[in-house]
Structure 1
Amino acid sequence: MPARPKKPPPKSPRQRMQARRERLRAEGLRPVQRWVPDLRDPKVRDEIHREAALLSQHPDNASVDDWIDAVVDWSEWT
Structure 2
Amino acid sequence: MTTAHVNMRVKKHRDALRAAGLRPIQIWVPDTRRPDFVEECRRQCLVVRNDPQEKEVMDWLEAAADKDGWV
CA–CA distance in structure 2, aligned partners of residues 75 and 22 of structure 1 = 34
Say if 2:12 is the partner of 1:19: yes
- TM-score, normalising length: structure 2: 0.66
Give unmatched runs, 5+ long, in structure 1: 1-10
Q: 1:41 and 1:62, CA in 2 relative to 1: closer, same or farther beyond 3 A?
A: closer
CA–CA distance in structure 1, aligned partners of residues 20 and 66 of structure 2 = 36
Residue of structure 2 equivalent to 1:72: 63
Residue of structure 1 equivalent to 2:35: 42
Look up the equivalent residue of 2:56 and give its one-letter code: V
Q: 1:56 and 1:19, CA in 2 relative to 1: closer, same or farther beyond 3 A?
A: same
Please say if residues 48 and 54 of structure 2, whose CA atoms lie closer than 8 Å, have aligned partners that are also in contact: no
TM-aligned CA deviation for residue 27 of structure 1: 1.1
- TM-score, normalising length: structure 1: 0.61
How far does the alpha carbon of each residue in 1:4-63 deviate from its partner, in whole angstroms, 9 at most, with x for none? xxxxxxx611111011111111111111121111112121221111010121133x2685
Runs ≥4 residues deviating over 4 A: none
Q: Which has the larger radius of gyration?
A: 1
Look up the equivalent residue of 1:28 and give its one-letter code: G
CA–CA distance in structure 2, aligned partners of residues 42 and 29 of structure 1 = 36
Give unmatched runs, 5+ long, in structure 2: none
Q: 1:12 and 1:52, CA in 2 relative to 1: closer, same or farther beyond 3 A?
A: same
